[in-house]
Amino acid sequence: MTNLADRIGSLDGNARAPLYQQMQDALRRGIETGSLRPQEALPPERDIAKEFGISRITVRKAVDGLVADGMLTRRQGAGTFVGGRVEKQFSKLTSFSEDMAARGRTARSEWIMQTESTVNSDESLTLGLSPGSRVFRFHRIRYADDQPMALEYSTVPGFGLPGLDVVGVSLYEALEGAGHRPVRALQRLRAVLFDKDQAALLGIEAGAPGLFIERRGFLEDGRAIEMTHSWYRGDAYDFVAELNATA
Ligand code: 16G
């Protein structure tokens, strides 16, 4: 592997800016000019410190600032990576798996929980189900390749699927197979900060920014088929919507 300094330039020892700032500027330039590519891993902080002749604390301070800006991402146990945000079209009713495939990435999930149960009051109101109705719950950590992107908690009415085990990677694929893929959805979102437990599941730091999205999906006949609460990492997503002026 070529040295980092060969790719992003060395620090200007005479500059008036503090060293951490110089390091940060060099990394930022590297990312902006493409010398450092999206998803690329940075060398360990101690190696960067050694190469540039600065302390690890200085490297850490430089990196911290870029993590806060979303230009770099720390993944627990794996290191620091150049951010590469996934753009998500907000006006299309697509699944996570389809969004990832469209970007050449592979969706996968880790199950947190998968149960068949009776509807709770929240689900009953949201899905328009009578108390006592059967539902399936799917709680997942969603990954793009090996990068955790979102936590997703979905509830589907019992009539929507033949069983729990028909959901492999994609819930929408399973719903489609059962003839119950949503054709319309309502969604609302708000900014959140990840709490300790959520952050641990996603391998990010507690207090990191995220987007909370609630989706209610409907069938052609108007019945609700999905209630999903998603917590997307703020540093992994750009949401894009096309707006048309009405004539
Ligand atoms: C998306 C949807 C979520 C849906 C999931 C299905 C948003 C904000 N949420 O993440 O409501 O349940 O896709 O994905 O887009 P899957 O078919 O890959 O399981």
Concatenated DSSP letters of 104-165: T--EEEEEEEEEEEE--HHHHHHHT--TT-EEEEEEEEEEETTEEEEEEEEEEEGGG-S-GG
Atom 10, ligand 1: residue with shortest CA distance: 96
Are 170 and 113 members of one domain?
Answer: yes
pLDDT tens figures, 114-131: 999 999 999 999 999 999
Mean pLDDT, range 24-45, rounded to an integer: 87
Q: Are 38 and 55 in contact (CB under 8 A)?
A: no
Mutation to probe ligand 1, out of 86, 88, 95 (largest number of atoms < 8 A from CB): 95
Least confident segment among 29-38, 48-57, 91-100: 29-38
Residues contacting 209, CB < 8 A, separation 6+? 191, 192, 193, 194, 234, 235
**Res 185: pLDDT:** 96
Are 91 and 192 members of one domain?
Answer: yes
Q: Would residue 245 count as lying in a domain?
A: no
Residues with a CB atom less than 6 Å from ligand 1: 95-97, 107, 152, 154, 170-173, 213, 215, 226, 228, 230
pLDDT tens figures, 205-229: 899 999 999 999 999 999 999 999 9
Selection from 166, 103, 170, 158 nearest residue 133 by Cα: 158
How many Å lie between the centroid of ligand 1 and the Cα of residue 77? 27
Are 94 and 113 members of one domain?
Answer: yes
Provide the domain limits for residue 195.
86-240
How many Å lie between the centroid of ligand 1 and the Cα of residue 94? 7
How many Å lie between the centroid of ligand 1 and the Cα of residue 208? 22
Atom of ligand 1 nearest to the CA of 97: 18
What is the distance between the terminal CA atoms of the chain, rounded to a whole angstrom? 56
Give the tokens for residue 228: 């999903």
Are 97 and 189 members of one domain?
Answer: yes
Q: Are 125 and 111 in contact (CB under 8 A)?
A: no
Are 45 and 133 members of one domain?
Answer: no
Mean pLDDT, range 61-65, rounded to an integer: 92
Atom 5, ligand 1: residue with shortest CA distance: 95
Least confident segment among 27-31, 143-147, 160-164, 238-242: 238-242
Mutation to probe ligand 1, out of 109, 230, 238 (largest number of atoms < 8 A from CB): 230
How many Å lie between the centroid of ligand 1 and the Cα of residue 98? 9
The total number of structural domains that make up the chain: 2
pTM for this predicted structure: 0.71
Atom of ligand 1 nearest to the CA of 187: 8
Task: Please determine, for residue 43, whether its predicted confidence score (pLDDT) is greater than 90.
Answer: yes
Give the CA count within 13 Å in the CB-facing half-sphere of 167. Answer: 27
Are 189 and 208 members of one domain?
Answer: yes
The larger pLDDT score, comparing residue 12 to residue 97, is at 97
How many Å lie between the centroid of ligand 1 and the Cα of residue 64? 31
- Is residue 202 very low, low, confident or very high in pLDDT (cuts 50, 70, 90)? very high
**Res 11: pLDDT:** 83
Atom of ligand 1 nearest to the CA of 175: 17
- Is residue 247 very low, low, confident or very high in pLDDT (cuts 50, 70, 90)? low
**Res 30: pLDDT:** 87
Are 31 and 98 members of one domain?
Answer: no
Mutation to probe ligand 1, out of 114, 127, 172, 229 (largest number of atoms < 8 A from CB): 172
**Res 109: pLDDT:** 94
- Is residue 108 very low, low, confident or very high in pLDDT (cuts 50, 70, 90)? very high
Are 111 and 175 members of one domain?
Answer: yes
